[in-house]
Each structure stands twice: as structure tokens, then as C-alpha cells.
Amino acid sequence: WPVNPIYPSNPLQTIAQLQNREWVWRYINTARLTFDAIENNKHHLRFIAYGGADVLNQSNNIYSPPSLQYETSSATFGTTVASWSANVQTNMNLNIVDTWTPRSWVSATTQIGTQFEERTFAQTRTSGQNLIGGLQEVTAGTIQGIAQTQLRTDDFGVFAQTEVLFWDKLMTTVGVRADRSSNNGDPGQFFFFPKASASYRLGAVRPGWVDEMKLRVAYGETGNQPLYGQKFTALNNSNIGGLGALQVSATEAAPGIRPERQAELEGGLDMTILGNKGTLELTYYVRNVSDMLITQTLAPTTGYSSQTSNGAGMQIRGAEVVASIFAVNRGEFSWTTHLNWGANRSKITFLPVPAFLLGSPQSGAVEIQLGKSATQIIGNDTLPQSGGRVVVPRVIGDGNPNWNAGWGNEFRYGPFSLYALLDRQLGGMAANGTWRHYDLSQNSVDYDNPTATGLKIGDVRRTTYLQVTNIYYQDDSYLKLREATLSWDIPPLLVRRLYAGASNAKLTFSGRNLFWWTNYRGGDPESQNFGSAAIPASVQRNVELAAYPASKSFWLTLSVDF
């Protein structure tokens, strides 16, 4: 394997020699018990209990042999890691459901229930470096490390809800939920989240055009829990003169931490149109988020560097459109088309601290600023000034797309059907870290292409990168053929000849993530190898850096009814 002169690693050698032996065992079980206590023409009272468990065990044995280039360059000469983890999630729900129909024109359904959830996670990891003889054993390392993580969260909630239907036209719902969690500052305190909704069917507004219309409005509140451990100031292992000690973490606890609260008001209408050949749904919503969890930098005189606590507020406005049309139905041929479209915009409405950056303007940062988008991207740029140019940070774009849409079509002819789904995103920005690293290593595909002044275009990008951030930020609009499926309903006569006990059978061939069209330079514009959590929870949103290539998957399925 040749030595990589540009970077202290040969990726082809790493792919060939690095070992990661992984073993996963998962068990999911659910159970449900229903007891009908009262059941007659006007009254139906049921007791429902259900619960389940999701158990996941995983072990990894990783071996990085001494021959790898990055091992020799760091003088560790081999690394091996043994890891084991267990994640267990259990839940138990107890509900009482009462359906009451006192008159033919009115019915009411009332639910009262409790919910308990427990989540535990345990992980141990040992490592050995500078392996004696290159042995694939942790004990062969002259430098050894050990790490352990244990987490447990208990959640408990109670809820009550009533739905009343009048004349099969007017539906009203009122409910409330109370939750508490061990992740909150006070694990015994309940937080209440109400909801209410109403919908009314107008019937045929204009037969043949609008055959059915329903108006709806809803209001509801939900909560987003703090993360495990944010209410504690951690004690980290340390040593003083070789003696074991505990050191106070630089992140201060938030003892009064509580859930984020989202209050959403939504309105819309649903229609059946064109002689019952299509449907149309229109929705507009306003979501106000309060008590947002933000991480703020503290003054050095406090003895801490940061604290995660409740404080900020944000508003999100959005609209959605969903339409389906049974376009063609002639003999054995039919065509159905489905379209969905959505867009939203965010704004910081309350910020108890000065505006702050998540990241650096040099490589691109999100600025949390009062009155501005929660996903605005700040980057360095140069402005003319007497005697030269000065570098200043400015807004270079927004990570949130202008809109997203999907268009699905299904064609049927006799026993054959073809379905295809196109996804479209317009707008949004992503940092192309892969392209930037290729330039920094002088290895981009167009690095040596000359400019009008005779300089290499890659050299120009490298020298201006620290001053002009948006060189490597790109519009990540795309059009994707998300899915295509071809199905054949096998004739019943042939099915019964193959298996007398069968009634129907279908053969399906499908593919996902098949093709995409984009001006984004690099791989998949949807790639986000640092996660896709909402700002400000993740500073690394809209960043693509050497993401694993997007995969295409193909499925051949035979389904039989018997």
C-alpha cells in the first residue's frame, strides 16, 4: 500500500484492513388485553391494557492493525476496541374507553388512561493501543482505556379526552394530558398539555365540482423533554499527583429545567371534487415554541463555560397541500395521481441572551438572533474598504428549503400496475465539506483547471476560502425518483394450480432511491452525516462531509393469500 503524501491515511488500505465485527440481537414484543364491561345499544364500556418491550443488544470488536498508515503516523502501532451495549425500552398503558349513544343524532366517546415508559441504556467499552506483536486483544495494548455509560429515564402520563359527534356532521374533541419525567428538574411535577378541535361537514357545495367539503380547526400543546443529565452538574474522573479525584464539569446544571412547549393552531379544509374523482386538502398552521432549550455561554467568572436551560421562543408558520385525482378509468386502464406540497418559515420571537453563533463564520455558522430565521447561515465575506478589503460575517443563505413536494402516479392495465414517486426540494443550503477537503488536499477533479488569469482554479478557491465562506456552500435543490414499483396480480387459475389452498398472489419488483437530478456538487444532496436535528439542538445541520454514498435498494416480493 503506497503512503498517501497529502493526508496521513490511505483510505483504500483502511477499507481493506480495518475490521469491525458487529453482532446485533433485537427482540420486540407487545401484548394487549381488552375487557368489555358493558355493551348494549346505547353504551359500550371497555377496559384496555397493553404494553411492550424493545430490547436491543449489540457488541462490536474493532481491530485497526499496526500496518495502517494513520497508526504508524501517530506512533500507536495498532488499536483494538471491544464494546458492548444494551438498550431496553418498555411501556405499559391502561385505558378506559366509553362510547355513549343516547340519541340517533349524537354519540360521545370518552377515554381516560395512563401511560408509563422506561428507557435504559448501558454501554461498556475497552480499548488497547500500541499492540504488542499486533495481537487483536485489548490486553496486548500498552495504552489501555475503559469507558462506561449508564442512562435511565422514567416517564409517566395521564390523559383524558372526549369526542362528540352531532348529526354525522359536527365533530368536537376536547382533551388534556399531564406528563412528568425523570429528565425534568423536578421529576414529580406534572406539566399539562391541553388540546381541542372541531370539524364540520358542509356536504355538496357544488355537485360535480365540490361534492363534499369539511372545515376543520384544531389547537394543541405538546412538550419536548430535556436530555438525560442536563439537570445535573457532572463530576468527571481526574487525578491529582497520581491520586484519584473528581473534577466539576465545565457545563453547569440547570436544576429548574423543564420541557419545551409547542402550541399549535391549525386550520384547513378537506374536499371531495370532480364528481368524487379527487380529493383536496388545504392546511395552514402556526406553531409557537416556548421554553426552548438553548445552550448559552457563561462568563468565565462563574467558573463554568456553558449551561443548557429554558429561555428562547420561536414561531413556525407553514402550509400544506395534498391532492389526489382518479384521472383516467377506461376499460382495463386506470391512472391515479397524488400530489403533496409543504413549506414553512421560522422566526426567533424571544431570546433572553444576546445573539450567538452555533459554529464559526469561517466554515459557516447558524446565528440565533431575535426576529430572524432559526436556520439562517452566517459566513465570512469581504467588503471593499479604503486601502483594500475587510472580512466581515454576513447572512449567506438559509438551511431551510423554500418548499418540498412529492408527486406519485399509479398506472394499472389489467393485472399489471406501475407506481412511481418523484420528490422535489427547492432551495436550502448545505456545506459541501467533501469538496472543501478535496481542495485543501489539492485533489479536486478540476483543481488544475486554469482561470482567465492563468492561476489554478483550486488554488483560487483555497486562498479565498478563509475569507469567503460561501465558496463551499451550495443550493441543495434536487429532484429524485424516490421509488418505482411494478406489480403483477397472478391469475387466480394459475395460483390455484400451483397451490390449491391459495386464493390470490402478487409478484412485485420495486426499487428505491433510483435516480436524482441536482446541481449540488458531490454526492446525495440529502446527506447529513452530522445528523438532522432541529436548530439549535445541532450545530452540524446542513453539513455534508465524506458521507457514505447513497444506496439504491431493489426488492422482489411474492405475496400469497390463503
Residues 497-553: tens digit of each pLDDT:
887 788 888 999 999 999 999 998 877 788 766 654 444 434 446 778 877 777 899
Phi, psi angle pair for 498, to nearest 5°: -75, -35
DSSP 301: G
Short-list 170, 172, 188, 169, CA closest to 180 = 188
Residue 235 has pLDDT above 70, yes or no: yes
Region 59-71: mean pLDDT is 94
The listed range with the strongest mean pLDDT (153-157, 294-298, 427-431) is 153-157
Run of H or E residues at 348: strand 333-350
Region 90-112: mean pLDDT is 94
Sign of CA dihedral 199, 203, 206, 211: positive
Q: What is the pLDDT of residues 135-149, one digit of tens each?
A: 999 999 999 999 999
Q: What is the pLDDT of residue 470?
A: 82
Where residue 86 falls among pLDDT bands split at 50, 70, 90?
very high
Q: CB-based contacts of 42: which residues, under 8 Å, 6+ apart?
A: 100, 101, 102
Q: CB-based contacts of 135: which residues, under 8 Å, 6+ apart?
A: none
Output b/e per residue, 76-90; b: 16+ Cβ within 10 A: bbbbbbbbeeebbbe
Region 337-341: mean pLDDT is 97
Short-list 218, 313, 217, CA closest to 261 = 313
Q: Give every strand in the sheet of 473-475, ordered side by side.
A: 473-475, 429-432, 543-544
Contact 484, 511 (CB under 8 A): yes
Q: What is the pLDDT of residue 386?
A: 62
DSSP 530: T
The cell numbers describing 479, all together, are 429532484
Residue 189 has pLDDT above 70, yes or no: yes
Residue 324 has pLDDT above 90, yes or no: yes
Of 36-50, 97-111, 457-471, 536-550, minimum mean pLDDT range: 536-550
Q: What SS3 state is found at 128? A: strand
Q: In angstroms, rounded to a whole number, what is the distance separating the alpha carbons of residues 558 and 507?
A: 5
Q: What is the pLDDT of residue 478?
A: 94
- Residue 361 or 115, more confident: 115
Short-list 279, 151, 276, 281, CA closest to 207 = 276
Q: What are the CA-CA distances from residue 22 to residues 61, 120, 405 (Å)?
A: 7, 21, 38
Short-list 157, 265, 261, 178, CA closest to 220 = 265
Taking the CA atoms of the chain, what radius of gyration do you get in angstroms?
A: 30
Contact 94, 117 (CB under 8 A): no
Q: What is the pLDDT of residue 537?
A: 39
Q: Give the Cβ contact number of residue 303 at 10 Å.
A: 10
Q: In angstroms, rounded to a whole number, what is the distance separating the alpha carbons of residues 194 and 229?
A: 28
**Percent of the chain residues past pLDDT 70, beyond the cut:** 97
Q: What is the pLDDT of residue 229?
A: 86
Q: What is the pLDDT of residue 385?
A: 67
Contact 70, 9 (CB under 8 A): yes
Residue 132 has pLDDT above 70, yes or no: yes
Q: In angstroms, rounded to a whole number, what is the distance separating the alpha carbons of residues 467 and 389?
A: 10
Short-list 539, 553, 519, CA closest to 399 = 539
Output b/e per residue, 388-412; b: 16+ Cβ within 10 A: eeeeebeebbbbbbebbbbbbebbb
Q: In angstroms, rounded to a whole number, what is the distance separating the alpha carbons of residues 253 and 259?
A: 15
Q: Give every strand in the sheet of 356-360, ordered side by side.
A: 356-360, 364-368, 376-385, 388-398
Q: In angstroms, rounded to a whole number, what is the distance separating the alpha carbons of residues 3 and 11?
A: 11
DSSP 154: E
Contact 91, 51 (CB under 8 A): yes
Q: What is the pLDDT of residues 364-388, one digit of tens each?
A: 888 889 999 999 999 888 777 666 6
Contact 121, 148 (CB under 8 A): no
Amino acid code (one letter) for 463:
T
Contact 59, 87 (CB under 8 A): no
Q: What is the pLDDT of residue 408?
A: 97
Q: What are the CA-CA distances from residue 434 to residues 13, 23, 300, 447, 461 (Å)?
A: 19, 31, 36, 14, 14
Short-list 514, 523, 531, 512, CA closest to 547 = 523
Q: In angstroms, rounded to a whole number, what is the distance separating the alpha carbons of residues 399 and 542?
A: 6
Amino acid code (one letter) for 291:
D
Residue 309 has pLDDT above 70, yes or no: yes
- CA end-to-end span of the chain, whole Å? 58
Mean pLDDT of the chain: 90
Contact 123, 148 (CB under 8 A): yes
Of 119-123, 450-454, 483-487, minimum mean pLDDT range: 450-454
Q: In angstroms, rounded to a whole number, what is the distance separating the alpha carbons of residues 166 and 485?
A: 42
Q: In angstroms, rounded to a whole number, what is the distance separating the alpha carbons of residues 559 and 1?
A: 49
Q: What is the pLDDT of residue 530?
A: 63
Q: What is the pLDDT of residue 531?
A: 53
Contact 447, 435 (CB under 8 A): no
Short-list 48, 15, 13, CA closest to 30 = 48
Q: What is the pLDDT of residue 538?
A: 40
- Residue 562 or 421, more confident: 421
